[in-house]
Amino acid sequence: MRQTHPTTYELTSSSTDSRTDPELQRLLESTWSERHDAGVGFRYRLHIERERIAEGKFNFLILLNRKRLTERRQPQAFQLDAPFDPSRFNFTRVDPAEVQLELVAPSPTTMLINNSPVTVYHSLVVPDRAGQHSQLLTSGGVRVAFELLLRLPDRRYRIGYNSPGAQASVNHLHLHLLRIDTALYVQRAELLPVRGTPLLHRLADHLPAQGYCFVLRDPTTELEPVCSGLMKLIQALAERQMAHNLFWTWTDLHRGGELRALVFPRVTQCVNKAACSFNAAFLELCGFVSVGEGNDYDRLTEEAIVQALREAQGDVYGMLGGIFPVASTD
């Protein structure tokens, strides 16, 4: 390994420059691979023992990764309105070897390796790390998620976020950047426009999870209103004490297509007590199920996964349908 100190890098705004940035991708992948191959910073070497597609309509991807269950840091227990606590583990305490890049624009953001990875190039996106924000998503966090995916030439990259009370494990603002090579049902899921909110849609009722989706087609004209609309939706959920999971993905893993930002609210919050084999967090809600026990890998069915997701979320549309009504098709 040549070095472990981070590189400072600047992103230009995608609302004025539509080009992708191969150098950004090269740096993210090389700094991750150098550390992983040298065993620096990681709790284990990523090893997916088995993977399969569950039978059914939604093609859930199920993977067996035992070490993520046994070797990862135990999650903290905290609720949506919990303030940042400097006495608990946070990302200002990580080993310097875990820092990949320091992005200086559009806002200061630190890229860290995820030392308990789910996929190759699994990194943490930490907006304004020195500011020590709790795990409530900020406008800077929303914006950098879009900017990263717009800049990375490889459209297999996705970004996810778990709020407090929705399987977040550390109460310090962070998102997850992952490369997922398999198509997920949310990329092509049927969307219904929401009345009175431009660019916002609701997932159709027959889908495994209940949620909302902003669709970005033209960054030069839509990036600002989409970021603003997404923040208003998140704030509306926080005001109602509704935890939530988010997922950003391209609709086409080869050409890109449209960029979707999906929001999965939860009627009741959950409290993380210990790492377990199967969680209903942003990945599972979108069709990617990583488990840590062989029995779960062998026995999980599409029906069982859908039931677990619906139990985790509750009747979201029953609670929010009057606030975000579906537009009439008449």
* pLDDT tens for each residue of 52-104: 999 999 999 999 999 988 888 888 889 999 999 999 999 999 999 999 999 99
At 133-142, the pLDDT tens digits run 999 999 999 9
Q: For the domain 21-321, what is the CATH superfamily, name and number?
A: ATP adenylyltransferase (3.30.428.70)
pLDDT band at 1 (very low <50, low <70, confident <90, very high): very low
3-class secondary structure per residue, the chain: CCCCCCEEECCCCCCCCCCCCHHHHHHHHHHHHHHHHHCCCCCCCCCCCEEEECCCCCCCEEEECHHHHHHCCCCCCCCCCCCCCCCCCCCCCCCHHHEEEEECCCCCEEEEECCCCCCCCCEEEEECHHHCCCCCCCHHHHHHHHHHHHHCCCCCEEEEEECCCCCCCCCCCCEEEEECCCCCHHHCCCEEEECCCCCEEEECCCCCCCCEEEEECCHHHHHHHHHHHHHHHHHHHHHCCCCEEEEEEEEECCCEEEEEEEEEECCCCCCCCCCCCCCCCHHHHCCEEEECCHHHHHHCCHHHHHHHHHHHHCCHHHHHCCCCCECCCC
pLDDT of residue 59: 97
pLDDT digits (tens, 9 = 90+) for 162-188: 999 999 999 999 999 999 999 999 999
Q: What pLDDT is attached to residue 15?
A: 79
Reported as a single tens digit per residue, the pLDDT across 302-313 is: 999 999 999 999
**In the predicted model, what is the mean pLDDT of residues 39-50?**
95
Delimit the domains of the chain by residue range: 21-321
* pLDDT at 219 > cutoff 80: yes
Say what the pLDDT of residue 21 is. Answer: 94
Predicted local distance difference test score (pLDDT) of residue 45: 95
pLDDT of residue 13: 82
